[in-house]
Structure formats: structure tokens, C-alpha cells
Structure 1
């Protein structure tokens, strides 16, 4: 088998999690797959996989080699796709999954422009803060926040999200502006009911970091609802800049404790099930999202500068 064939077998073993599964996927025998991996390791002079009767894992060298392999195989697929799909235009139903707040405020407003460019595409969007199984539910693409766990999904970086401590001018006029993070103990702070990692507000203090756990008379399972309550003057919250930046510009919200707040950025990725044989509709939407969110996301742009 040629080198490209060896790379393909190796990548398939890693993707499928074992020799037998890879053999079934490639219509080969397990012994043939095992021999190909053995020859590849012999040729490279290093072990790529740790294997026992029950498990298989990559060695450090195998991890680096796998990353290079997938890029090479992707480039080959992309080159072939450019030829075979050169005359194919995006068409068909494109199924997208986004978080509620980001989907409503950032992705949905872009859909009309995308559909104007590609009139043969139909978009089906699901807004949920739950993690969905893309393959099981037939989702073409999901937009997700946070560091990515090991996954068979393919990720394309879009932007980074920041958060801000904010309140409405009406709330601050009535209850006063906190001058230090400790002052938050005397305020109504809104929090997430189901996302504990978002309920630790970290501040920079002269003697180190101060972690504040918000307490108040309202919590919700999504940022969209908390955002609405903050706009209505219910209390103080820590919310994503993509939600609050327009309100700050319009004077509806005010950032507070900016000298103390430790800015933490969270990556945003577009995820899709496979890097191989991307349909024209998915490739077009991926490129469209990158165009709109990179290198500067819209919530960091000055008003009127968004193309």
C-alpha cells in the first residue's frame, strides 16, 4: 500500500477507536489493518499507538503524526472537491444548532444575507443551550463555546468571547454603584441555574484574585433570560459581550468594576461531523461565518463598521 493509503488506514483506526471498527469501515480484515499499522510504525521507527486487548490510545508521537495526517488527507480531499464540485452550487437544507443567546443575537441576523447569496439553500436552525449529538440528530453544523474536548467532530475557529459585569443605569441609580468586588455582597446578583462555571466571577485584587459567587433572587438556565432581567433593572449580572455591547453603546447598560474584573476569553468554534466530502452548502456557510466573525467579531466593531 502506498503512503497515502497507510495514512488513511492509520487515521481511520484513530477515528474509529480500534482496528476492527476501522476494518469494517474500510471493508478490510482486521489483520490487514494491523499489518498496515505495523509496517507504518516500522518504516517510521516509532510506536504510534498503545494497544491492549481492551483499549487503544495514541502515543505522543502518534498524536503529532495523526494531526499531520488529517491535515494532509483534508488537503487532498479539498483539492479533489475543488475539481469535482467546481460546478456545484450550494443547495438543499442546511441544519444548524446554536446556543439560544448567540443564535438570536449573532447568527440569526446573518441568515438573510447568506440566503440572498445562496438562494437554493434552506436553513433549519435549532436554538438550544444543550449539547446536541450532531450525527444522531442530523445537524450539519453547531456553534459552541469553550475549550474543545477530544471529539470526532471537526472544529473551525470563529472568534473569542469576553464577558462583562453590568447593570442598568436605573438599578445603579437606585442601589448605588459597587466600588469594589466585595460591595457585590450588598447587591442583587443574577446567576445561572445550570452552569456552575459561569457563576464564579474572578476579580484582580492587590493581594491576589478574589472569586465571588453571585447570590440574588433570580436565576435562569440561559444568558438570554438573565440579559432581559438586567435590562429591566432587576440586578447585576456577568454576561457575554456579544449580548451587552450594543446595550452599553445605547446607554441601556453600564459596565462596572472594570478595573478589577479579570478578563477571560472563551473560544467560539463551528463544529461539524467530518472534514471529508463537505457539501457545498456547508462549506459555503463555514466560509460565511469566518468572513463575518474574523478577524474582529461584530460585537467589538465600532457602530456602522460591520460589512
Structure 2
């Protein structure tokens, strides 16, 4: 039996992407090359590894068993090879990063570009997607998450704090007035983020005499699964939104958005680097985390808009609903 690592790699990617075309994109190969490698692997093993349909590709029972064994073996081979590079203090191999779309395009991508430039022997692959992938089963080395994390089987390293702002456009404030307090949000048009529960988005720190956070569920008139889409809707005057400062800092500084409830403080999120627990953490992950912690301390989106927290709307815009 003759097994080739590129054939095993192709099979692992097909199972993880759920399709030959997805694996081909991820490996920068043609579909025909990936299909040929899978076919050659099945021939060498004398077993069918995949069930193919018009919509997806799923592993057979034998294929699932081989996947688990082969994935662990390949990971061990990669760790063995990469550990050699640590003796020369040069990172090598592949570093796969998953990050949220807006945070990735607005702030993370230039940092990752600088990191890749500093480590030319390291192949960095970054994917932007707002879902929360299972890094234990999908072969991402590290995922960047903007969230409030609870208990997890993963290791989470805090990179920064992500403050959120209740905001709207000056035009909306002129037309509908600004809410006097959280209760008045129920009378306003509000913009909702569909990838999270309202209790996660519209949650505010309690007053000094309150212990529990205050949560409101305002009337939604516009829903999207991307923060930049909601920002554009807010700038266009469609309503009030609670958005991360890293998305709206430039709009607040330019006056395209104003704070709708400057005296209220939404519960902040954390920016985390998340990766699976293991007997040891690869040097490439430790180096990336340390680099991002240094680059985000303090958060650059807070520094560029430091006056936002205490800014006050112009008198013409200090309207109240009612």
C-alpha cells in the first residue's frame, strides 16, 4: 500500500468543506486534481471513503473512521515539522485564521498582513465569516471572536475590549427625537443584528444601585446579519442601532452618526483569540496572540475616537421623543 500525504490532505479538506469544490478553493487547486487525489486514495485503501450526491459529499462509515485517524496523524506530523522551526526562531507551516467579516476587513486584515510579512516562511490563510466555527473539528488554528464568552472547551485569550454605542443619524434625531431613557426605545424604530439574540445586543450596565444588567427588546424595523449593513441603515436615517465602536468610530467622528443615549452604557464585548486545548500550544499561535495583544492595546478604534464617550449632540439635535 502506497499512501501520499497530498492525497490524505485532499480527503481531509473535502470532509471539512463538505464538497470537492470547497476543498479545491481552500487548497488553490482545480476540482479535477482534488477528485483525482481522492480516487487514488480510495484505490490505494481498497475502500470507498465518500458518498457523493448532487448537493453534498459525506464520508462513508469507513471514511469517518479513516478521517478521525488520519486527521490526528496529520496534525502530529505538522506539529513535528513545525517544532523544528522553533529551534531557529522561524515560524513555518500553515496558520489558518477565522475572523468576523466586519472586524476582519476594518481592523484585523492590515495587522495580519504585517504579521505575515514578519514571518515569510509561514503560510497564513485567513477566512472571514460571521459564524462561530468549531475549531476542534474544522482545521482552523485560531478563531477571532467578538463576543461575551462563557465556559468553553477552548482556550480564549483576550485581545481587546469592544465597546458598543447606541447611535442614530442626525436626520433621524431631527425627525423622531432622541429617547430620554431605555424605556423610550420601545417608541423608536430600531435596527437589529440577526446573528445574536436581542438580550445580547440590547443589554446595558445597571445603575449604581442595580446589580443585574438591564435588557430591552425594542421594536425592530430593519434586520441584518452584518454590522456594517446596520451602520449604513443607521446613517441613512432608518432608526437607532447598538453597534460596536470599531464599526462606527469614523461615522461618529465625522458626524454621520450621533449617540442616541450618551448616558447609557451597553455591555461591552471582548475580542478574543480562541483555539483548541492541547498538550502544548504551537509557537505560531502564541506568537500571533502576543502580536495581536500588543497591536490592540489600547484598541485603535477607541484611540482614534477617544472623545466619543463624553460627546454631546448639538443643541438642535437634543430632542426628546414624546
- Change beyond 3 A, Cα 1:130–1:186: same
1:139 CA displacement: 0.2
Quick check: 1:89–1:280 contact (8 Å CA) kept in 2? no
1: distance between equivalents of 2:168 and 2:245?
13
Superposition pairs of residues 13-92 of structure 1, within 5 angstroms: 85-92=86-93
Instruction: Kindly report the root-mean-square deviation, in angstroms, between the aligned alpha carbons of the 2 structures.
Output: 2.9
Q: Which residue does 2:94 correspond to in 1?
A: 93
Work out whether residues 199 and 213 of structure 1, in 8 Å CA contact, stay in contact via their aligned partners in 2: no
1:181 touches 1:203 (CA, 8 Å); kept in 2?
no
Whole-angstrom CA distance in 1 between matches of 2:259 and 2:276: 38
C-alpha change, 1:250 and 1:273, in structure 2 (3 Å) is same
| 1:262 equivalent in alignment to 2:284 | no
* TM alignment of 1:275-286, pairs within 5 A: 276-286=279-289
Kept in 2: contact 1:219–1:226 (CA 8 A): yes
- Match 1:299 to one of 291, 298, 301: 301
What TM-score, normalized to structure 2? 0.60
SS at match of 1:164: strand
Aligned counterparts of 2:85 and 2:140: Cα–Cα separation in 1: 24
Secondary structure class of the residue paired with 2:221: coil
Closer, same or farther: CA 282–265 of 1 in aligned 2, 3 Å: same
Structure 2 residue 181 is matched with structure 1 residue 180? yes
Shift of 1:199: 4.4
1:12 alignment counterpart: none
1:123 aligns to 2:124 (yes or no): yes
Query: For residues 94 and 186 of structure 1, do their structure 2 counterparts lie closer, same or farther at Cα, with a shift above 3 Å needed?
Result: same
Classify the secondary structure of the residue corresponding to 1:135.
coil
**Which residue is 2:143 aligned to?**
142
User: Residues of 2 paired with 1:231 and 1:211: CA distance?
Assistant: 24
* Residues in 1 aligned to 2:232 and 2:278: alpha-carbon distance in whole angstroms: 38
Gaps of 5+ in 1: 1-80
Distance 2:301 2:142 in 1: 22
**SS state at 1:142 partner:** strand
2: CA distance between counterparts of 1:111 and 1:156?
A: 17
Distance 2:138 2:84 in 1: 30
CA distance in 2, matches of 1:195, 1:132: 15
Q: TM-score, normalised by structure 1?
A: 0.63
Q: Flag the 1:138–1:83 CA change in 2: closer, same or farther, 3 A.
A: closer
Aligned residues: 222
Q: Give the C-alpha shift of residue 233 in structure 1.
A: 2.1
Note the alpha carbon deviations across 1:35-89, whole angstroms, 9 max, x for none. xxxxxxxxxxxxxxxxxxxxxxxxxxxxxxxxxxxxxxxxxxxxxx999823141
Structure 2 residue 162 is the aligned partner of structure 1 residue 161: yes
How far 1:119 moved relative to its partner? 2.2
**Unpaired runs of at least 5, structure 2:** 1-81, 307-322
Shift of 1:99: 1.8
Q: Which residue of 2 aligns with 1:241?
A: 245
Structure 1's consecutive aligned runs of 4 or more residues displaced over 4 angstroms after TM superposition are: 81-84, 203-210
